[in-house]
A and B are shown apart, each in its own frame.
Chain A
Amino acid sequence: MGRMLDTSAIGGCKPDSAICTRGVTRDFTAGQQTITVLHGIDLDIRAGEMTFLVGESGSGKTTLISIMCGILWPTLGEVKVFGTDIYDLDDTALVEFRLNNIGFIFQQYNLIPSIDAASNAAVPLIAQGMDRHEARERAVEMMAKLNIRDQADKLPSQLSGGQQQRVAIARALVHEPRLVVCDEPTAALDAASGRRVMDLLREVAVAEDRACIIVTHDNRVFDLADRILMLEDGKIIHDGSEMPEDH
């Protein structure tokens, strides 16, 4: 994977951009074949909005979100998150940046099965070095906001899918990150639970100084988006507050 970025693609980021990408390109090599998954993406994402990233499988949305949150290096281009050129940071600084500024919600929750829900939610605080008991208390407060205070002592295996996803949301928000990234948060849930989780996410994750990006296929929740970005073959083909009419 190339770490040397071509900074010639950098253009000016908008002053109100929470995330700004310029010329982001990503190639993957399979054998002797090189596949370009993203083709020079220029994007500005504002804080205070819930931005949906939609598109068919293989359109490049997971690659784009991975690059935007600092876990996958672009082949070319620049990514600024709240003014920090994240791929200019060294490895350790980038990891620290993620820990302090980004909250993650994964499709499969990825909760640690052997610790209780509150401790799972407290993981980012513990990773930041906070005392475990204090971190857990803070996590319980966050769980109370998500109406799962009474599930704090339960193991993930004792929770329903919707409850596990709420714990994952608590984990993503407990350290008050400025960017929340969600990967298919409703994919493993039934329609009603999915809707409830998305309503909740909109309520707690969207804030004036926080950007929220959600990768989703789920057209039942598109109406909750402030902005919808549609990808196809590694290019943004739609940018608006609603889905295009032909979709």
Chain B
Amino acid sequence: MIWIAIRMLTGDAQKFYGLVFGIAFSTLLITQQLTIFVNLIERGASGVYNVSSADVWVMDPVSRTTDVAYAMPSTALDKVRGVPGVEWAVPHLRAQASVRTKDGDLEGVAVIGVDDATLIGLPKAMVEGSPDVLSQPDSVIIDDVGTTRMFPDQSPIGERLELNDQRAVVRGIADAIPSFTSTVVLYTKYSRALNFVPGTRNRLSFVLVGAEDPAQAKALSERIERETGLKAQTRDEFARDGVQFIIENTGIPLNFGITVALGFIVGVAIVGLTFSLFIRDNIKQFGALKAIGVTNRKIRRMVIAQAGLVGITGYGLGVLGTIAFIWSFSANPTFKGFYIPWQIPLISLAAVALILALTGWLALRNVLKTEPAAVFR
């Protein structure tokens, strides 16, 4: 009977495709929007992920994220270095600046000052050049998002910039995770960054710490807090706080939430309507089957098989559509590093199952309510 159910469904190509489209569209909308949402809010932690060597981030107690930080006096660095369990501690500066390109365009950039001696604070990989280029005069390394944005049709290597009214030369391209706002990032040595970014007496944004025992990073962060009065967080804690900051301070969760809800509602509407039409068009056949002697249990199985086929096909197409979307935009720096967390296809699968359970139940109700005697009327 399952074979008959499947043939009944696929035989009506228009409705079958309508049902599959409804599920595929819902799956695509839910999966794609959730994927973008998760990847976007994870950008809130990109500043932390780009510095993979730091076990603990130390900051002023009011600082919240890599981008929302209150500068500390330079003595903080020595305080941190004096805490037992700290293998190394280096200064880290993050500030906003303006760049004027040679074409006269103005661009807001983030300047990151990394430790002069060790260059800790740079992303792990380079797209072009090596970290050593920072030893050269006025040298800065641009991130790959910045390259696309500021030098779309040319190599930035050797290009001179007017960075806060001072000369800077791009000598390398870093392979970095873009920030939440995809701001252009320029990396330079800490000492040079102090010149590029004028400001108040206190300029030290963070102290990056390497633990003697990385497994004890949590205990070390607590010890640093106790002994220095500064705020110290492990890499994972600080990354989580960056994500949380975006969730709490932007309308993004609400906007994406609305789109996901719309995906669900559109799915219910399209699939519900088409399924009802399909059942209505086949009600005589179902009535005849019931009269002939097909039990309600078998009828239920038939409708479940039909819903299952629609669900599997539509869901598969929807997930493939999301993969195609992510793949086709992977070259775009805005979508750089985007991936589909395994939980998201499971969430959309649950949503599809719910849509089909709801619409299938409504459709099945009509079939089960049909009296076999109706076929004689």
Interface residues in chain A, defined as those with a beta carbon under 8 Å from any beta carbon in chain B: 62, 65-66, 69, 71-72, 91-92, 95-100, 102, 104, 106-108, 110-115, 119, 123-124, 126-127, 132, 171, 183, 215
CB-nearest residue of chain A to B377: A62
Cβ-neighbour of B4 out of A91, A126, A183 (below 8 A): A126
**In the complex the two chains form, what is the Cα distance from A11 to B364 in whole Å?**
41
CB-nearest residue of chain B to A127: B294
Q: How far is the CB of A107 from chain B (nearest CB, A)?
A: 8
12 pairs of residues in contact across A and B, judged by CB atoms under 8 Å:
A65-B376, A97-B293, A110-B285, A110-B288, A112-B11, A112-B285, A114-B7, A114-B12, A115-B4, A127-B1, A127-B298, A171-B292
Q: How far is the CB of B130 from chain A (nearest CB, A)?
A: 66
Cβ-neighbour of A99 out of B4, B10, B292 (below 8 A): B292
**In the complex the two chains form, what is the Cα distance from A102 to B293 in whole Å?**
9
Q: Are B284 and A62 in contact (CB under 8 A)?
A: no
Give 1 or 0 for each of B152-169: 1 = CB within 8 Å of chain A CB.
000000000000000000
Q: Are A124 and B376 in contact (CB under 8 A)?
A: no
Q: Are B293 and A98 in contact (CB under 8 A)?
A: yes
Q: Are B12 and A92 in contact (CB under 8 A)?
A: no
Interfacial chain B residues near A98, Cβ < 8 Å: 291-293
Interfacial chain A residues near B1, Cβ < 8 Å: 126-127
Interfacial chain A residues near B293, Cβ < 8 Å: 95-100, 102, 124, 127
**In the complex the two chains form, what is the Cα distance from A135 to B142 in whole Å?**
73
**In the complex the two chains form, what is the Cα distance from A53 to B238 in whole Å?**
85
Q: Are A92 and B295 in contact (CB under 8 A)?
A: yes
Chain B contact-residue range equals: 20 to 34
**In the complex the two chains form, what is the Cα distance from A126 to B10 in whole Å?**
19
Q: How far is the CB of B12 from chain A (nearest CB, A)?
A: 7
Cβ-neighbour of A71 out of B291, B294, B295, B296 (below 8 A): B291
Query: Is B3 interfacial (CB 8 A cutoff)?
Result: yes
Interfacial chain A residues near B292, Cβ < 8 Å: 98-99, 104, 123-124, 127, 171
Q: Are A112 and B291 in contact (CB under 8 A)?
A: no
Q: Are B11 and A114 in contact (CB under 8 A)?
A: yes
Q: How far is the CB of A79 from chain B (nearest CB, A)?
A: 14
> Assuming A96-B293, A98-B291, A99-B292, is B4 touching A71 (CB within 8 A)?
no
Interfacial chain B residues near A69, Cβ < 8 Å: 291
> Assuming A95-B294, A95-B295, A127-B293, is B3 touching A106 (CB within 8 A)?
no
**In the complex the two chains form, what is the Cα distance from A97 to B290 in whole Å?**
12
Binds A, one of B36-44, B96-104, B187-195, B367-375: B367-375
Cβ-neighbour of A106 out of B294, B298, B376 (below 8 A): B376
Interfacial chain A residues near B288, Cβ < 8 Å: 104, 106, 110
Interfacial chain B residues near A183, Cβ < 8 Å: 375-376
Give 1 or 0 for each of B1-29: 1 = CB within 8 Å of chain A CB.
10110011011100000000000000000
Query: Is B287 interfacial (CB 8 A cutoff)?
Result: yes
Q: How far is the CB of B360 from chain A (nearest CB, A)?
A: 19
Interfacial chain B residues near A123, Cβ < 8 Å: 4, 289, 292
Q: Are B11 and A72 in contact (CB under 8 A)?
A: no
> Assuming A95-B293, A99-B292, is B284 touching A110 (CB within 8 A)?
yes
Interfacial chain B residues near A72, Cβ < 8 Å: 371, 373
> Assuming A104-B288, A104-B292, A106-B288, is B7 touching A115 (CB within 8 A)?
yes
User: Which interface residue of B7, B8, B373 has the most chain A CB atoms within 10 A?
Assistant: B373
Q: How far is the CB of B203 from chain A (nearest CB, A)?
A: 75
Interfacial chain B residues near A96, Cβ < 8 Å: 293, 295
CB-nearest residue of chain B to A168: B288
**In the complex the two chains form, what is the Cα distance from A98 to B377 in whole Å?**
19
**In the complex the two chains form, what is the Cα distance from A107 to B288 in whole Å?**
11
Interfacial chain B residues near A119, Cβ < 8 Å: 4, 7
Interfacial chain B residues near A171, Cβ < 8 Å: 292
**In the complex the two chains form, what is the Cα distance from A171 to B375 in whole Å?**
15
**In the complex the two chains form, what is the Cα distance from A104 to B290 in whole Å?**
11
**In the complex the two chains form, what is the Cα distance from A115 to B8 in whole Å?**
7
| 10 further contact pairs, Cβ within 8 A, besides A96-B293, A114-B8, A127-B294 | A95-B294, A100-B293, A102-B293, A111-B285, A112-B7, A112-B285, A119-B7, A127-B292, A127-B298, A183-B376
> Assuming A124-B293, A127-B292, is B287 touching A110 (CB within 8 A)?
yes
**In the complex the two chains form, what is the Cα distance from A93 to B245 in whole Å?**
64
**In the complex the two chains form, what is the Cα distance from A104 to B293 in whole Å?**
10
> Assuming A62-B377, A110-B375, is B291 touching A104 (CB within 8 A)?
yes
